[in-house]
Structure formats: C-alpha cells, structure tokens
Homo-oligomer: A and B are copies of this chain.
Amino acid sequence: MATSRRSGRRAGASGTREAILAAASALFAERGYEATTIRAVAAQAGVDPALVHHFHGSKEALFAAATRLPYNPAEVIPTLLAQGLEGAGERIVRFLVTTWDDEARRAPLLGLMRSALTHDPAGGAITEFVRAGVLGPLTRALEGPDAGLRASLVLSQVAGLAVARWLVGVEPLASAPPDVVAAALGPTIQRYLTGPLKEAP
C-alpha cells in the first residue's frame, strides 16, 4: 500500500534531498549564511536550483532543514504575530517553552546556540541566520523607529531564557511549569514588542 501511495515520487528523491542538505551544511559552514546562495547549493549537490526551491522554498527554510531545526523561525514568527501584537508576548513564550522543553526538539537548537556563542567556525553563519531569519521577520512585524531595538530586546530575553532554562539549567526557572514561565516572561516580551521603552511601564 505504501508503495502505491508513493508511486508519484521520484526514485532517489530522498537521496537527492540528503545531497542538498549535505551541500547546504558544507557551504553555510564554509562561506557563512549571507554569502551562500541556493544556486551554489544546487551546483554543489548537482541538482537544478528549482529542485532546491521545490524542497525548501527559501534560504531560511534550507538552513533550518540543514541544521535539523524543529522549526523555521522565519515562518513561525509571522504566524505567532498574525493574530496581532496584543498578547504576542505570552504566545511567543508559550511557543518557545513547548518546543524547547521537548529534549529531542531542543537538541539541535542548543547545538546551534553553543556554536554561535563560542568560536566555533559555524558560529558566524548561525549569527547571520539569526539576523536574517529571526530579527528580520520580527523587526518587519513591528512599527516605528524603535522596531529594530524592540526586536533585539526580545531576542535578549529569549536568549537568556534559553541559557537559563535549557543550556545551563538554572533552578528554579529550569523546572518551573510552563504557565509560570509564560506569566513571568510574557509581560517582558510584550513590553519589548509594544510597551514604552523609555520609562517604567
């Protein structure tokens, strides 16, 4: 039955997919995120660029797949903000806690964070990806001259949560129930997104 359901699929598609991801990993590590093009990844993998687009849609999605991320932030951020900025602080924290509390899903995220925070050669590509795939979408979703500052403030608290709860395991935050984390950090993220930054709230 599985064979007939898959009959439309090209033989060797999964091999091609793996070749694309291997080429992408190598080029991102070697050239960084910005300087790597989908065209170069396709050439390295020996496939047509249209096939890379077909499988991955965007360079952010390709990077997320190549690094085994459980989600592509460039897609998730607009989705989390699609209902409006009201309440987005708590939605963001709940999404992060749900995803990262799952050990299998957080493993590649923590690996990437460790590389970005050290002198790992891959660190540069990760930092560039965070700019393009996290700060970019967040800044575009915000308004006003402070949009970039707001996005970088959000990132600072998100990075700090990741460090304290998952990377180092600072108690009692590391074991706090998701509702407690959402209630504690949601208002912080919300203020960075939409609150006054120049004075006390």
A149's contact among B118, B163, B180, by CB below 8 Å, is which?
Answer: B180
Q: Give min CB distance, A33 to chain B, whole Å.
A: 14
Chain B residue with Cβ nearest A170: B152
Interface stretch among A2-10, A47-55, A99-107, A154-162?
Answer: A154-162
A183 at interface, CB cutoff 8 A: yes
When the two chains form their complex, are residues B156 and A173 in contact, meaning their CB atoms are under 8 A apart? yes
Flag A165-184 by CB within 8 Å of B: 1 or 0 each.
Answer: 10110111110100010011
**A contacts with B, residue count (CB < 8 A):** 47
When the two chains form their complex, are residues A155 and B170 in contact, meaning their CB atoms are under 8 A apart? yes
A39 at interface, CB cutoff 8 A: no
For this chain, the copies found in one complex come to: 2
Interface stretch among A18-26, A73-81, A192-200?
Answer: A192-200
A142 at interface, CB cutoff 8 A: no
A153's contact among B173, B191, B192, by CB below 8 Å, is which?
Answer: B173
Using a CB–CB cutoff of 8 Å, the interface residues on chain A facing chain B are: 113-114, 116-119, 127, 130-131, 135, 148-149, 152-153, 155-161, 163-165, 167-168, 170-174, 176, 180, 183-188, 190-192, 197-201
